[in-house]
Structure 1
Amino acid sequence: MASTSRDRIMTEALRLFGEQGFAKTSVAQIEQAAGLSGGSGALYRHFKSKDELLVRAVASRLDDRAEWDQFLSPEFALTAALDSVTGGGSTVDMIVALCRIGLARLDHDRDVTRILLRDNSIPAELLEVFRQREYAVVMAAVTRGLRELAGDRVRDQDWDATAAVLVGALAHFWMMGDIFDGGHPANIGEDRYLRATAEMIAARLDWAGTEGEDRG
């Protein structure tokens, strides 16, 4: 299906915002990149302003969940899926698999991630769009996954905070790799980083279970 002028504007705007920054990208540049006459004002037939374009383009990209949609469904058995992916692997293996899913999502949203993590000129409205449509949804899925991995042995731990640590670790690794052209400044590869992250989260699961037994 052929893309519309509106679709092309949103796609090219996100790319330019991600590469150059929101403030440094002009309406004329977006129009030209979208195959329109630069400086013609054609963008304003679809969007009232560059700010509105940014918010709507980001919301559209975040709503494009594709294969990630299943992982974010409240009814989805996340641990069963991770168990299948790892071939019955350990808890650490399943957390590593979960981390890879998260990194793939960050790559899918590369332009959006760059805008949010590296651009301080974006409007506040965009942060709320991201918080509601992406971060809150992802956090809910990761928190649910941690609870599933912990099982019945522990129920009252602060899995929201643990999920925030895990999501933050992935965002940091992705951002450092993006800034340093694919390599972490500490010269730690993806496999090592994800394994270390997974081992710490798995230790938290084990510790929480032992703590629950001690209280019992």
Structure 2
Amino acid sequence: MATTSRDRIMTEALRLFGEQGFAKTSVAQIEQAAGLSGGSGALYRHFKSKDELLVQAVAARLEDRGEWEQFLAPDFSIADMLAELSPAGRTVDKLLTLGRVGLARLDHDRDVTRILLRDNSIPAPLLEVFRQQEYAVVMSTVTRALVELAGDQAREQDWDATAAVLVGALAHFWMMHDIFDGGHPADVDTDRYLRATAELVAARIDWVDTDPAPRRTAGVVSPEVSR
């Protein structure tokens, strides 16, 4: 299927924004990269401004979830999928797999990830698009995965906070890895980092809370509260 001028503009804009930064990328550069006459103003036939182009291009890219779409199905068991991909069956191994899935998602949308994690010149409306269309979805999915892995222990922990820690750890590692051209300033490789992260989260899953107060977790109701 032939791509339209609008599609080419969005694709090339994301690439340039990711490589050069939003502020340093000109409309003329985007037009030229998209096969249009640079400086002709052809971009404005599709978008009111460079800001609008960025917001719409990122939103369109985030909507294309590809293989990750299955995680959003209400009857899809993330724990079963992790168990299938982690034959050893240990909680740490399942969390290692979850971490690799998370890094793969960040890599899949490399340009968008760079824009969101490394560029402080992006317009505020884009942050809201990211919060609603990506971060909230990822947080919900990771929280559900942790609750499923915890099983009967689910009510004992604040899984929202645990998910935020795990997602933040993966995003930080991806960003450092990208900034330092495939390395990490602490000289820690991907497998070591993911294992350390998985072991920390596994400790929380296996930890029994002695505080009887119910914990708040989005979408999860403590058995004591539901009675």
Q: TM-score, normalization: structure 2?
A: 0.91
Which 4+ stretches in 1 moved above 6 angstroms? none
Identity %: 78
Alpha-carbon distance in structure 2 between the residues aligned to 1:18 and 1:72: 27
After TM superposition, list the pairs within 5 Å mapping 1:1-216 onto structure 2: 1-207=1-207, 210-211=208-209
Question: Is the Cα contact below 8 Å between 2:6 and 2:46 reproduced in 1?
Answer: yes
For 1:121, the aligned partner's letter is S
> Deviation of residue 153 (structure 1)?
2.7
Question: Is the Cα contact below 8 Å between 2:153 and 2:205 reproduced in 1?
Answer: no
Find the counterpart in structure 1 of residue 221 from structure 2: none
Find the counterpart in structure 1 of residue 217 from structure 2: none
For 2:192, the aligned partner's letter is R
Question: Please, which runs of 5 or more residues in structure 1 have no aligned partner?
Answer: none
Alpha-carbon distance in structure 2 between the residues aligned to 1:73 and 1:25: 38
> Deviation of residue 184 (structure 1)?
0.7
Question: Is the Cα contact below 8 Å between 1:95 and 1:198 reproduced in 2?
Answer: yes
> Deviation of residue 73 (structure 1)?
2.6
**Structure ranking higher in helix proportion:** 1
Alpha-carbon distance in structure 1 between the residues aligned to 2:56 and 2:168: 25
Question: Is the Cα contact below 8 Å between 2:31 and 2:42 reproduced in 1?
Answer: yes
For 2:152, the aligned partner's letter is D
**SS state of the match for residue 75, structure 1?**
coil
For 1:32, the aligned partner's letter is Q
Alpha-carbon distance in structure 2 between the residues aligned to 1:30 and 1:127: 22
> Deviation of residue 109 (structure 1)?
1.0
Question: Is the Cα contact below 8 Å between 2:12 and 2:34 reproduced in 1?
Answer: yes
User: Please, which moves more after superposition, 162-171 or 80-89?
Assistant: 80-89
Count of residues in correspondence between the two structures: 213
Q: TM-score, normalization: structure 1?
A: 0.95
Alpha-carbon distance in structure 1 between the residues aligned to 2:181 and 2:75: 38
After superposition, the C-alpha distances for 1:68-120 in whole angstroms (9 at most, x for unaligned) are 01123332100000000112421100001000010000001111111111111
After superposition, the C-alpha distances for 1:40-64 in whole angstroms (9 at most, x for unaligned) are 1111111111000000000011001
Question: Is the Cα contact below 8 Å between 2:156 and 2:209 reproduced in 1?
Answer: no
**SS state of the match for residue 204, structure 1?**
helix
Question: Is the Cα contact below 8 Å between 1:83 and 1:89 reproduced in 2?
Answer: yes
> Deviation of residue 156 (structure 1)?
4.3
Alpha-carbon distance in structure 1 between the residues aligned to 2:27 and 2:56: 15
Alpha-carbon distance in structure 2 between the residues aligned to 1:139 and 1:99: 13
Judged with a 3 Å threshold, the aligned counterparts in structure 2 of structure 1 residues 67 and 154 are, in CA distance, closer, same or farther, namely: closer
Alpha-carbon distance in structure 2 between the residues aligned to 1:165 and 1:73: 24
Alpha-carbon distance in structure 1 between the residues aligned to 2:72 and 2:194: 21
CA RMSD, Structure 1 to Structure 2 (Å): 1.4
**SS state of the match for residue 3, structure 1?**
coil
